[in-house]
């Protein structure tokens, strides 16, 4: 089943360039309204719309609203809200779907549309396919008396704050902790600081003044340097960085060292081991080999999925596990919520530190990430390159040199004419040498 517009995380692109244009989004709203009204029986006949803080969100919110109303479906507007908040509120309001206008960690010049079903999870493939199919049909609005009505939900922010706080044990207090929070000038700017303050922490906030243009600009989980410096400057216990729509989180320890998604997954997994509720962990092809080894030392099952939260979720469903995520900080705790949630994931880490009575730095003493080297090799002939005899032989040679204490990954880009060549292992110099050699072989094949 091919996809014309939908990627692994909705539809995304540059504002003003197809398909991220007002006319397309208008019709997308209509097509989604029609399909969800007819095909999805769960939930009331209404769709929620939320957005992040980029200026084009106003334009696309209006376009979606008009299209959905023309399909005869009611609309509930949430305003600027984290992506996982829309997933949660879609469930609690018993809506047919939730739509997020966001391009996540991308700059303000991009935007996108993501969908959640009535269960707060990404739409099923067949529903997305039906929406895409209807986009090619003429747009026919319902009769005037059947048009959808639009209303703004005024208490969405408070509802979501209370939900986030409810995901950790009631006795847990952050009193005495000093935390620096970087909101990426994005959707968490008016939510994340309050969550942690209401739990008792002293909060110092960065990048919480969105102006429509500064989302993700030199801030947030994509650019955590300012957060690292601030944590050291104010002698904070730790720092927390979200991306523009707050579905990702990275942290910083008291010495200003960045803690990525792999390390946060390790903390959460070890907390579950200590509480006797560990099942397994789903990572991706990019997950550091050090996490895999650390989990194996504690007999925690681990599997790799393709890169993308959709595939992490598929892996969790297949295995019946509840914990997974990516190095980028997109962490899924299915025993707490239905999708990746930066604020909820950060709270779970803090709860683990509280139970262990240790710092973020101390919680990672037994996990060592292995050196990793990645080279992007450009060339037009990236399809099928990995079956070439010279590449197969080169990969085999590298794996033999690593002696089971490392990993090789060759990953063609889905959007650019390049192949990502990655080697991991315990010896940094050897890893760099092997990666350069393997990249040369790949270059000779795809050039």
Q: Indicate if the pLDDT at residue 414 is higher than 70.
A: no
Rounded to an integer, the average pLDDT of 108-137 is 94
Last residue of a domain, one of 155, 185, 219: 155
Tell me the pLDDT tens digit for each residue of 66-117: 999 999 999 999 999 999 999 999 999 999 999 999 999 999 999 999 999 9
Residues 25 and 95 in one domain: yes
Rounded to an integer, the average pLDDT of 110-131 is 93
- Residue 382: the pLDDT is 83
Q: What is the CATH number of the domain that holds 397?
A: 3.30.310.50
- Residue 179: the pLDDT is 98
Q: How confident is the model at residue 8 (pLDDT cuts 50, 70, 90)?
A: confident
In percent, how much of the chain has pLDDT > 70?
A: 98
Residues 288 and 209 in one domain: no
Instruction: Give a yes or no: residue 166 inside a domain.
Output: no
The C-alpha atoms of residue 361 and residue 170 are separated, in whole angstroms, by 25
Residues 113 and 149 in one domain: yes
**Total length of the chain:** 447
Last residue of a domain, one of 206, 236, 258: 258
Instruction: Give a yes or no: residue 164 inside a domain.
Output: no
Residues 329 and 432 in one domain: no
Q: What DSSP state is assigned to residue 122? A: B
Radius of gyration, CA atoms only, the chain = 23
The interaxial angle of helices 342-356 and 83-92, nearest 10 deg, is 90
Which range (147-156, 268-277, 409-418) has the least confidence?
Answer: 409-418
Tell me the pLDDT tens digit for each residue of 238-266: 999 999 999 999 999 999 999 999 999 99
Q: How confident is the model at residue 46 (pLDDT cuts 50, 70, 90)?
A: very high
Rounded to an integer, the average pLDDT of 439-445 is 95
Residues 108 and 222 in one domain: no
Residues 140 and 79 in one domain: yes
Q: How confident is the model at residue 2 (pLDDT cuts 50, 70, 90)?
A: low
Instruction: Give a yes or no: residue 161 inside a domain.
Output: no
b/e string for 21-54 if b means 16 or more Cβ within 10 A? bbebbbbbbbbbbbbbbeebeebeebbbbbbbbb
Q: How confident is the model at residue 37 (pLDDT cuts 50, 70, 90)?
A: confident
Residues 406 and 441 in one domain: yes
Mean pLDDT of the chain: 95
What pTM does this model have? Answer: 0.92
Which position among 104, 188, 327, 328 bears the catalytic label?
104
The C-alpha atoms of residue 384 and residue 386 are separated, in whole angstroms, by 6
Residues 249 and 265 in one domain: no
Is residue 185 within 8 A of residue 216, CB to CB? The reply is yes
Last residue of a domain, one of 229, 258, 287: 258
Instruction: Give a yes or no: residue 4 inside a domain.
Output: no
Instruction: Give a yes or no: residue 248 inside a domain.
Output: yes
Instruction: Give a yes or no: residue 2 inside a domain.
Output: no
Tell me the pLDDT tens digit for each residue of 266-312: 999 999 999 999 999 999 999 999 999 999 999 999 999 998 888 99
User: How many other C-beta atoms can be found within 10 angstroms of the C-beta atom of residue 231?
Assistant: 28
User: How many other C-beta atoms can be found within 10 angstroms of the C-beta atom of residue 154?
Assistant: 10
The label of the residue with tokens 């730790």 reads: 238
Residues 25 and 111 in one domain: yes
**Total domain count for the chain?**
4
104 is catalytic: yes
Rounded to an integer, the average pLDDT of 147-153 is 97
Helix (H, G, I), strand (E, B) or coil at 46: strand
Instruction: Give a yes or no: residue 23 inside a domain.
Output: yes
Q: How confident is the model at residue 40 (pLDDT cuts 50, 70, 90)?
A: low
Tell me the pLDDT tens digit for each residue of 383-410: 889 999 999 999 999 999 999 889 999 9
The C-alpha atoms of residue 283 and residue 19 are separated, in whole angstroms, by 31
Q: What is the CATH number of the domain that holds 179?
A: 3.40.120.10
Q: Which of 97, 112, 10, 9 is nearest to 54 (CA)?
A: 112
Residues 16 and 143 in one domain: yes
Residues 250 and 193 in one domain: yes
Residues 406 and 322 in one domain: no
The C-alpha atoms of residue 272 and residue 322 are separated, in whole angstroms, by 11
Is residue 373 within 8 A of residue 435, CB to CB? The reply is yes
Instruction: Give a yes or no: residue 160 inside a domain.
Output: no
Residue 327 belongs to domain spanning: 260-364
Tell me the pLDDT tens digit for each residue of 176-227: 999 999 999 999 999 999 999 999 999 999 999 999 999 999 999 999 999 9
Q: How confident is the model at residue 41 (pLDDT cuts 50, 70, 90)?
A: low
Handedness of CA 340, 346, 348, 352 (dihedral sign): positive
Handedness of CA 90, 93, 94, 95 (dihedral sign): negative
The C-alpha atoms of residue 94 and residue 45 are separated, in whole angstroms, by 9
């Amino acid at each position: 089943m091919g996809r014309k517009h939908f990627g692994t995380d909705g539809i995304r692109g540059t504002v003003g360039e197809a398909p991220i244009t007002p006319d397309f989004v208008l019709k997308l709203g209509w097509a989604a309204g029609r399909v969800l009204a007819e095909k999805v029986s769960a939930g009331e006949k209404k769709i929620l719309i939320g957005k992040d803080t980029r200026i084009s969100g106003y334009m696309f919110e209006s376009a979606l609203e008009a299209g959905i109303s023309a399909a005869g479906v009611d609309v509930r507007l949430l305003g600027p809200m984290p992506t996982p908040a829309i997933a949660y509120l879609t469930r609690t309001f018993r809506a047919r779907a939730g739509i997020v206008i966001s391009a996540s960690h991308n700059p303000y010049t991009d935007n996108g549309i993501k969908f959640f079903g009535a269960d707060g999870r990404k739409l099923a493939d067949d529903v997305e396919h039906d929406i895409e199919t209807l986009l090619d049909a003429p747009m026919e609005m319902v009769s005037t008396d059947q048009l959808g009505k639009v209303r703004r939900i005024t208490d969405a922010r408070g509802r979501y704050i209370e939900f986030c706080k409810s995901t950790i044990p009631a006795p847990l207090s952050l009193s005495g902790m000093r935390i620096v929070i970087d909101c990426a000038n994005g959707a968490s700017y008016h939510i994340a600081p309050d969550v942690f303050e209401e739990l008792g922490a002293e909060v110092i906030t960065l990048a919480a003044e969105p102006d429509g243009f500064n989302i993700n600009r030199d801030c947030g989980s994509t650019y955590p340097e300012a957060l690292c410096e601030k944590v050291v400057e104010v002698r904070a216990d730790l720092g927390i960085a979200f991306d523009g729509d707050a579905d990702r989180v990275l942290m910083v320890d008291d010495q200003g060292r960045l803690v990525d998604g792999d390390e946060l997954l390790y903390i959460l997994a070890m907390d579950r081991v200590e509480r006797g509720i560990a099942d397994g962990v789903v990572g991706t092809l990019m997950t550091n080999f050090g996490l895999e080894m650390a989990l194996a030392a504690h007999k925690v099952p681990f599997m790799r999925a393709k890169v993308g939260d959709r595939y992490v979720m598929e892996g969790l469903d297949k295995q019946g596990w509840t914990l997974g995520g990516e190095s980028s900080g997109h962490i899924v705790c299915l025993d707490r919520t239905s999708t990746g949630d930066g604020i909820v994931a950060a709270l779970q880490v803090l709860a683990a530190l509280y139970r262990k009575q240790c710092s973020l730095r101390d919680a990672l003493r037994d996990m060592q990430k292995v050196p990793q080297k990645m080279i992007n090799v450009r060339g037009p002939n990236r399809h099928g390159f990995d079956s070439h005899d010279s590449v197969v032989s080169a990969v085999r040679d590298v794996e033999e040199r690593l002696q089971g204490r490392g990993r090789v990954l060759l990953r063609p880009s889905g959007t650019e004419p390049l192949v990502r060549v990655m080697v991991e292992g315990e010896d940094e110099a050897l890893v760099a040498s092997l990666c350069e050699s393997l990249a040369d072989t790949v270059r000779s094949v795809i050039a």
